[in-house]
Structure 1
Amino acid sequence: MSLRPAAMVAVLMIGVSGPALALSELKPVQPPATDLPQAAPLPPLDEPTIGLDGGLPAPNPVIRETPQSPAEDISPAVTDDVTVEIINDLAQLPESALRMRELILQAAATGDPDKLRSLLGSGPNATRLAQGQTDADPVEYLRSISGDAEGQEILAILIDLLNAGFVRVDAGKPNETYVWPYFVALPLESLTPPQKVELLRLVTAGDVEDMKAYGAYNFYRVGISPDGEWRFFMAGD
């Protein structure tokens, strides 16, 4: 026997135990609780989270301009707007300057300071041996500043200086001079490790620290003009 729709509803309701609930009393089914954390919100498109190398992006570099250290004031002076060129090739010396260097080395190698007398000159062209004026005999003065009575230490210093690299000062000017060693024209803080080794062949580590405190290289230096005049051999800045 076929039942009408209303009768079918009645039959179904008879089979349900307990009172029927109204639609307003029905509660929505809650999804099962999970322990999974909530996903973080995605970053804006203009803030990439992966760098080009597949890792996290590096922070933006901070560029600081390092001020140029002023060049040391020597005699003759080295200006701070001239690039310092360290010269190790003796072929770059003019012939007369090269000849004077060789004569000084030969005289110093004898161990007798008197052998330098003819090279030191006299009068206005005499080699300057001190920052201030000195009326002493030049050879006797060299002996007096040497660590030994015979003056052989000062000769050894002279040889070491002339075997170091050098610089050309005041190029093209009347007082153009080739100066040994090149440390006279460089801030000591800028020296590379090999250059520090070269400096330590002339002075001790304690001397270097004293120079840094002083602010410049202040050991002995030698100056020869392009025409072969031995202009100075003295300590100081």
Structure 2
Amino acid sequence: MLRRLILLAIATSLVGMPALAKTVRTDTIRITPLEPPASGEIPKAAENDISLESAADQEDAADDSVVKAEDVPAPQVLYDVTALPTPVARMHDQLLEAATSGNIERLRMVLESNEMPPTLSLTEIVDPIEFLKESSGDPEGVEILAILADTLDAGFVHTDVGTAQEMYVWPYFARYPFSALTPEQKVEMYRIVTAADFAEMETFGVWLFYRVGIGKDGTLHYFVAGE
């Protein structure tokens, strides 16, 4: 029930978004350049052109940052957690131990030991454990612990190697092209989500269920669902 509510809320927020404008053919108009002012200041029209060009560049960069799973090549899927860097392995083990304990307060200690508060929601929250309890299908937060445990037991990927965003991401489906999934991989995936959940995510081309991201220094960056 929790999974479908998450996906339904995300899908609802996307309904009604304006369609992209159609491309309109334009003709080039040759304009005789003006003589530069003696003061060396940039003419007003030129300043506006620079501002518009800068805004267009920023918009293109923002568009490029949103990458659907279908737009990237299939990354290498990893399963051997013993090969993880020591700080990453330590955080992974602490999270998994807290998740399988059945006591969500055990997770509080792990979160508070983190270098920075991890992202648990796409909106602002006050108390992380209370938020996770509210997100769970039961009042004690056991379901959310089970989701965390299943996520950490799945295969993972090592992303953005050599950059400031280098990270280990569970499950690998969050960074894997859906069209490249084999029947065996779909069996792995259906241990985390239902076929109905996946059908909804496939519509948007992105993984919308829970995922975990741990930096190479062992910092937990997120345990979050949504886009």
* Alignment TM-score, normalising by the size of structure 2: 0.66
| Alignment-derived partner of residue 91 in structure 2 | 100
**Pair 1:136-2:122 in alignment:** no
| Alignment-derived partner of residue 223 in structure 1 | 213
**Pair 1:147-2:147 in alignment:** no
Aligned-residue Cα RMSD (Å) equals 2.5
**Pair 1:194-2:184 in alignment:** yes
- Residues 215 and 221, structure 2, Cα contact 8 Å, conserved in 1: yes
User: Once the two structures are superposed, what CA deviation does each residue of 1:20-74 show, in whole Å capped at 9, x if it has no partner?
Assistant: xxxxxxxxxxxxxxxxxxxxxxxxxxxxxxxxxxxxxxxxxxxxxxxxxx99748
Residue 125 of structure 1 aligns to a residue whose secondary structure is coil
1:235 partner letter: A
| Alignment-derived partner of residue 172 in structure 2 | 182
Distance in 2 (alpha carbons) for counterparts of 1:228 and 1:103: 11
- Residues 152 and 171, structure 2, Cα contact 8 Å, conserved in 1: yes
Distance change >3 Å, CA 110–CA 174, structure 1 → 2: same
- Residues 71 and 177, structure 2, Cα contact 8 Å, conserved in 1: no
Distance in 2 (alpha carbons) for counterparts of 1:179 and 1:137: 24
Residue 78 of structure 2 aligns to a residue whose secondary structure is coil
Larger Rg: 1
Distance in 1 (alpha carbons) for counterparts of 2:148 and 2:80: 19
User: Once the two structures are superposed, what CA deviation does each residue of 1:82-102 show, in whole Å capped at 9, x if it has no partner?
Assistant: 761111111331011001111
Distance in 1 (alpha carbons) for counterparts of 2:155 and 2:126: 31
- Residues 70 and 179, structure 2, Cα contact 8 Å, conserved in 1: no
Distance change >3 Å, CA 81–CA 216, structure 1 → 2: closer
Residue 158 of structure 1 aligns to a residue whose secondary structure is helix
| Alignment-derived partner of residue 115 in structure 1 | 106
- Residues 72 and 186, structure 1, Cα contact 8 Å, conserved in 2: no
2:194 partner letter: T
How far 1:123 sits from its partner (Å)?
9.4
- 99-108 or 81-90, which moves further after superposition? 81-90
Q: Which has the higher contact order (CA 8 A, sep 6+)?
A: 2
How far 1:122 sits from its partner (Å)?
7.8
Distance in 1 (alpha carbons) for counterparts of 2:118 and 2:65: 24
Distance in 2 (alpha carbons) for counterparts of 1:123 and 1:111: 20
Distance in 2 (alpha carbons) for counterparts of 1:172 and 1:154: 32
How far 1:144 sits from its partner (Å)?
0.7
- Residues 114 and 220, structure 2, Cα contact 8 Å, conserved in 1: no
Distance change >3 Å, CA 195–CA 230, structure 1 → 2: same
Residue correspondence of structure 1 range 1-237 to structure 2 within 5 A: 73=67, 84-121=75-112, 125-132=116-123, 134-237=124-227
Number of residue equivalences: 164
How far 1:189 sits from its partner (Å)?
2.0
* Alignment TM-score, normalising by the size of structure 1: 0.63
- Residues 121 and 127, structure 1, Cα contact 8 Å, conserved in 2: no
Distance in 2 (alpha carbons) for counterparts of 1:113 and 1:98: 20
1:141 partner letter: F
Unaligned ranges ≥5, structure 2: 1-63
How far 1:182 sits from its partner (Å)?
0.3
Q: By percentage of residues, which structure has more helix?
A: 2
Distance in 2 (alpha carbons) for counterparts of 1:193 and 1:208: 14
Unaligned ranges ≥5, structure 1: 1-69
